[in-house]
Structure 1
Amino acid sequence: MVGAGLAAVVLFNFFSGEEIAKDEFEKLDNKEFEVVYEVIGTNVKDLDYGIGDNKRESSETVENPKLPWKKKVTMKGIATAPSLSLILGEGDGRADCVITINGKEVKRATAKGEFGTATCVAASPAGHAS
C-alpha cells in the first residue's frame, strides 16, 4: 500500500512538473522583442527582411532602397529568427546589414563588389527568461 501511495505522489509531481514546464514554455514563446533592421552603404539593389511571430513568419522585400535604410518590427516566439539579407547591384558597391534586438547589436555582415551579398540571421531572445 505504501508503494502505491508513493507511486501516486511521484506521478502527481511528474505531471505537475510537466504542466509547469508547458506553462513556462508558452509564456516564453509569447514574449515580444523589438528588432531593428539596418542597411548602410552604397549600391544596394534589393533587401529582404523577416517579419512575423511564433504563429506565422514571412518576409518583405524592398527594391532599390534609399540608404541608409532602417525598419523596426516587433516579433515574438522562441523559434522566430530575425533575418536580413541584401544584394548589391551592377558595378562597385559595399553595404552592411545589421540586426539589433532589444537595443543590442547581435548580427552584422558586409557585401562587397558587383552583385555582392550579405545575410544576417539572429536567434530569438524569447527563450531566455528575464
Structure 2
Amino acid sequence: MNRFARSVCGAVAAAGLALGATACSEAVDTVDKAVNDTYEVTYEVTGDNVDSISYHDGGGKALEPSVTTVDKPELPWTKTVTLRGIMPSGVIPAAADLTGAKVTCKITHKGKVLAEESGEGLMTAGGCIGESPVGSEQ
C-alpha cells in the first residue's frame, strides 16, 4: 500500500472515530439528563378492606426505588410523589381478607393513566407499576 492510500485510510478511520465519539457523547448526555429529570405521578387506590398500601416514594436508586408503606389507609386514598429519571412508579395495595376486598389502583401522570389494575383479595403480587415517561416526553 502506498503512502497516499495509508494517509487516506488513516483520515477515514480518524473521521469514523470522531463520529463515533460524538454519537457516544450524545448518548451519555441523554442518559445523564434522563437520570436527573423528574416527573410527578399521582397514585390512587379505591375499594374496601385494604390493610396497607406500599408505593415508590422517589427515594433510592432508579432501579431500586425506596418504598413507603401506609397501614390501615382511609379509602379512597391518593398520594402525589416526584420520581426521578427511569425510576418506575409503583403502588401496591394489600388486603388480608381474600374474600371481601375489592381494590383498584391507578397511576396517572399529567392526566394520562400509566397503569391501572383491579382485583379482589390480596393484590401484593401485582398492584400497579408504571413505566417512567422520562425520555418519551417531548
Q: Give the TM-score band, short-chain normalised.
A: 0.7 to 0.9
- The structural deviation recorded for 1:6 is 1.5
Structure 1 consecutive aligned stretches of length 4 or more whose deviation exceeds 3 Å: 53-56
Q: Write the mapping of 1:69-108 to structure 2, written as runs, cut at 5 A.
A: 69-78=77-86, 80-90=87-97, 92-108=100-116
Identity of aligned residues (%): 31
Residue of structure 1 aligned with 2:41, choices 32, 35, 39: 35
**Cα distance, 1:123–1:54 mapped onto 2, change above 3 Å:** farther
SS of equivalent residue, structure 1 residue 48: strand
Give structure 1 stretches of 5+ with no counterpart: none
Aligned partners of 1:50 and 1:82 also within 8 Å: yes
Residues 74-115 of structure 1, C-alpha deviations (whole Å, 9 max, x = no match): 11112x111111122436221211111232112111232xx4
For 2:28, the equivalent position in structure 1 comes to 22
Pick aligned residue for 1:45 from 51, 56, 60 = 51
Measured in 2, the distance between the counterparts of 1:102 and 1:77 equals: 16
Unpaired runs of at least 5, structure 2: 1-6
* Residues 72 and 129 of structure 1: CA distance in aligned 2, closer, same or farther (over 3 Å): closer
Correspondence for 1:119? 127
How far is 1:125 from its partner? 0.8
Structure number with larger C-alpha Rg: 2
Number of positions where the alignment pairs a residue of Structure 1 with one of Structure 2: 127
TM-score (structure 2 length as normaliser): 0.82
- How far did residue 25 of structure 1 move? 1.6
Query: What RMSD in Å do the two structures reach over aligned CA positions?
Result: 1.8
Shift, 1:121, TM fit: 0.6
The 1-side partners of 2:78 and 2:61 are apart by: 25
Return the TM-score normalized by structure 1.
Answer: 0.87
